[in-house]
Amino acid sequence: MKTPQPKALVDWPKQKLSAANLVDGEWTGSSGPGRAIASPYNGELLGEIYCAAPSHVEACVVAADRAFQEWRGVPIKERTAALLRFRSLLERDIEGLAQSAARESGKLVSEGRAEILKGIEVLDFAASLQNSDVGGAIEVSRGVTCEYRREPIGVTVGITPFNFPAMVPMWMVPISLALGNAFILKPSEKVPFTAVLLGNLIVEAGFPKGVFSVLQGGREIAEALASHPLVKAVGFVGSSLAAKSVYGAASAHGKRALCLGGAKNHLVVVPDADPTLTVDGVVGSFTGCAGQRCMAGSVLVAVGSVEGLIRDIVGAAGRIELGREMGAIIDSAARDRLVQAIGRAEAGGCEILLDGRTARAPAGHEGGQWLGPTIIDNVPVGGEAACVELFGPVLSVVRVRDLDEALTLERRSAYGNALSIFTSSGAVARRVADCASAGMIGVNIGVPVPREPFSFGGTKDSKFGIGDITGWGGVELWSARKKITTKWAPQRDKNWMS
């Protein structure tokens, strides 16, 4: 009798995948031979990425600019109709997209599904602009009217990270296209395949060719786009170092830029916190997407005596089944980096309450990059595990005496994406929301991602630029307001302010 094979945790493509460049509506070539992309789940070859050559960048931007000149003249209601066709296709293909995002980034399929749904939420906001963004006009003076109307700005670019292959592009694409821009997506070179699926759906939805493009590749493609004269605005999401660099380059070339960076999010737990809300919130926050999300809580700030809560958090995290309840780490370099950081904390005197280094890979997935949830206790306030973004399922417990100390610690962090407070006291929650420096605050919620139209964005090294990437912040990023002042009849009063 044959031994049953372990069930695969994601669907495998029937043939090897190929990620090319979408330039002027056609899928096209590469600067050289394809580069292998392995699955974080089991190390097997998923397919190949064909990175763009400098000539593709030039052709792509020129075609996008040409497409923009037509697209800007299409009434917003027609542009929105195309967007809504794209929405139907996203719903039709949600399972395939979720599988793709999971397969290449290592997350669970359920997490892949969630990121498509968040993308659709942003699309719904973008589609609502046709009815809500009606401009404005008032009579500012006798016989003189001031009017403003929103205009697209031209070729826009999105440079995106590995951890949300669908959602982060979808933070930008629908709003930019609805407003009448052309959009070029430069996905992470680690996850090139979901971008191809999105590109195919946009083509199928009937957007004119060149309005949406995909350029595959790494830093060099991002830099070429951020300095290209025809590119008018850049949205970036990734690590802080790269975010700062892209922000600097784009700004120096006179472009708008909004560049979201890394994070070190604090989960502040006080003694009166509700045990269920706290344990679920903390564990979900640091283990979701295997800690590889910019909203992951990574520092548990234990205020006073919260021993029972910490014990329950360790217990719940220790019961997580890899592969079914938590996904894999993106690649071996990232896993090694995490293992080394845990080792340094241990060597420095911290206590490892839960050690993910010893966790077993799911059966049949031994070639993948697996690391179990890890909890490190007594991390000093200025220690590496308390301050540096590790980007994995690692929770550092920092002990403080009171809320003042907790808030001081948070305000000193270089990052400012999210903070969550776990408490039963409205006064404590209010104080934390008032005093914390992070851009997104959760009260008894471990991953405080605002729903649209409340926009997404942090502060400090978690965001370079003004505004937010979704909601009305996104509208301002991808458009310009034109102001028109009109008079039709001469006036006796010569004062222009009359």
The binder of ligand NAD chosen from 294, 387, 395, 432 (CB under 6 A): 294
Per the annotation, the verdict on 259 as an active-site residue is no
Could you tell me which of 174, 136, 59 has the C-alpha nearest to residue 471? Answer: 174
- In the complex, what is the shortest distance from the CB of residue 347 to ligand NAD, in angstroms, rounded to a whole number? 25
Q: Is 274 in the site for ligand NAD (CB under 6 A)?
A: no
**Do 241 and 247 meet the contact criterion of CB atoms below 8 Å apart?**
no
Residue 367's region, left for phi above 0, alpha for psi from -120 to 50, else beta, is alpha
Q: Is 189 in the site for ligand NAD (CB under 6 A)?
A: yes
Q: Of 60, 259, 294, 387, which one is the catalytic site residue?
A: 294
| Tokens standing for residue 49 | 């990425």
Question: How far is residue 328's CA from residue 44's CA, in Å, rounded to a whole number?
Answer: 13
Amino acid sitting at position 394 = V
Q: Is 459 in the site for ligand NAD (CB under 6 A)?
A: no
Q: Is 223 in the site for ligand NAD (CB under 6 A)?
A: yes
Give the residue closest to ligand NAD by C-beta: 238
Stretch near ligand NAD under the rule CB under 6 A, chosen from 183-191, 361-369, 399-407, 482-490? 183-191
Binding mask 202-221 for ligand NAD (x = CB under 6 A): ----------------xx--
Question: What is the phi/psi pair of residue 254, to 5°?
Answer: 75, 20
The binder of ligand NAD chosen from 176, 245, 285, 470 (CB under 6 A): 245
The binder of ligand NAD chosen from 112, 174, 235, 262 (CB under 6 A): 262
Stretch near ligand NAD under the rule CB under 6 A, chosen from 76-84, 161-169, 274-282, 298-306? 161-169
Strands 479-487 and 144-152: antiparallel
Amino acid sitting at position 256 = R
**Do 485 and 145 meet the contact criterion of CB atoms below 8 Å apart?**
yes
Instruction: Give the strands of the sheet with 45-49, arranged side by side.
Output: 17-19, 45-49, 35-38
**Do 216 and 189 meet the contact criterion of CB atoms below 8 Å apart?**
yes
218 or 453: CB nearest ligand NAD:
218
Stretch near ligand NAD under the rule CB under 6 A, chosen from 121-129, 159-167, 343-351, 437-445? 159-167
How many CB atoms neighbour CB 432 within 10 A?
A: 26
Question: How far is residue 76's CA from residue 89's CA, in Å, rounded to a whole number?
Answer: 20
Question: How far is residue 139's CA from residue 136's CA, in Å, rounded to a whole number?
Answer: 11
- In the complex, what is the shortest distance from the CB of residue 417 to ligand NAD, in angstroms, rounded to a whole number? 6
Question: How far is residue 115's CA from residue 365's CA, in Å, rounded to a whole number?
Answer: 24
The stretches of 290-395 forming alpha helices (DSSP H) are: 307-318, 332-347, 384-387
Q: Is 222 in the site for ligand NAD (CB under 6 A)?
A: yes
Report the b/e string of 255-286 with b at 16+ CB within 10 A. bbbbbbbbbbbbbbbbeebeeebbbbbbbbbb
222 or 432: CB nearest ligand NAD:
222
Q: Is 162 in the site for ligand NAD (CB under 6 A)?
A: yes
- In the complex, what is the shortest distance from the CB of residue 292 to ligand NAD, in angstroms, rounded to a whole number? 7
Question: How far is residue 404's CA from residue 430's CA, in Å, rounded to a whole number?
Answer: 13
385-424 binders of ligand NAD (CB under 6 A): 389, 391, 417
166 or 237: CB nearest ligand NAD:
237
Binding mask 17-36 for ligand NAD (x = CB under 6 A): --------------------
Binding site for ligand NAD (CB under 6 A): 159-164, 168, 186, 188-189, 218-219, 222-223, 237-239, 242, 245-246, 260-263, 294, 389, 391, 417, 458, 462
Catalytic residues: 294
